[in-house]
Structure 1
């Protein structure tokens, strides 16, 4: 997925899966403590130390009595990614987001993405194949 905001420097987020809609659904195959991994690559975005607060990933993990909610800004961490290969583009700065989560049931996890990064020329790729390890 390619995400960018080059038309308006707003204080509100661009969101994928904002309530009342669902985001990307991930169905776990087993319960227990897992790590969600999301890969991203930035191009022409200034001050990449801002990534953790400009791109927020929100997880709703069913717990049998509602859902546990995790946020990448408080529960996860972004790290440089030197392993992934991104095709058909160059000059990318690659990252991986890891969020430890406790899976209580094998019901689908709802993943919402909130983006608030104004840039005339910059954008962010997100690999839509999220993994639970």
Structure 2
């Protein structure tokens, strides 16, 4: 029994050395699995590249929108200051125009009253 065990061990060692040295060709099934794995790896690499491209594009888009938001805030602040100044100017001009119109109205009224009085027209005391 001891002799048979030695042969079994020796045979196993020879087979192991032969396989380890690359003397035995892989089976067709192993080749098919390796080809499938290589194909899957290429598909996964392509999918990862696509996801990375989309993520980088989205990241750039988010950066652009943040920059646009920042600029919009600056422009809005400037626009508010300018509009405030313009509206104050418009209000001041309107007030002046109303004062002028009121002064003209008063002058016409006073002038027409003077004309009536100088013509000898009725006065409030002579009624």
TM-score normalised by the chain length of structure 1 = 0.12
Structure number with the higher strand fraction is 1
* Higher RCO (CA 8 Å, separation ≥ 6 residues): 1
Structure number with the higher helix fraction is 2
TM-score normalised by the chain length of structure 2 = 0.12
